[in-house]
Amino acid sequence: MNEICDIVLQAVKGDDLREVYPSFDAVPVVKKSPRFFTVVGLEKIQTQSVIPDSQDGVIPFTAVFRISVLADFQRPLNLSEDFLFQVIFPRVKSVGGVLCEILPPFADNRLQKTVTAGLFSFRGFYSQEVNS
């Protein structure tokens, strides 16, 4: 599962975004960009029953990621929404992600940021050795 987290994080970063962080990193908010930054976090994973396949078991999964754009209160809200749709969504789509839901923007007074987020779903399979 770490592999899919890394794939999504790297897809969002691309070659041009430096201000992209995993949701559980050690960088304090005050050291992140004062204008805006993006946070990628695993929201949930659902798995199904193992499908036996020779020596390995194939496990179908669905992983849902919350990708949030945190912007300075002075930035117009539509810039965060545009960034989510025009930059983030195509990058996530390029690695197989599907937009599930856009969450309503909200003000995080503690961080002094406006948060615009979307939930993105990924489906796939991973292998696990089957014990005889």
Q: Tell me: the pLDDT tens digits for 10-61?
A: 999 988 888 999 998 888 888 888 788 999 999 999 988 877 776 777 888 8
pTM of the model: 0.83
Question: Under CATH, to which class is 2-127 assigned?
Answer: alpha beta
Q: What is the SS3 assignment for 18-83?
A: CCEEECCCCCCHHHCCCCEEEEEEEEEEEECCCEEECCEEEEEEEEEEEEEEEEECCCCHHHHHHH
Q: Tell me: the pLDDT tens digits for 57-115?
A: 788 889 999 999 998 887 766 777 888 888 899 999 998 888 878 888 899 998 888 89
92/90 Cα distance (integer angstroms): 6
* Widest pairwise Cα distance in the chain: 60
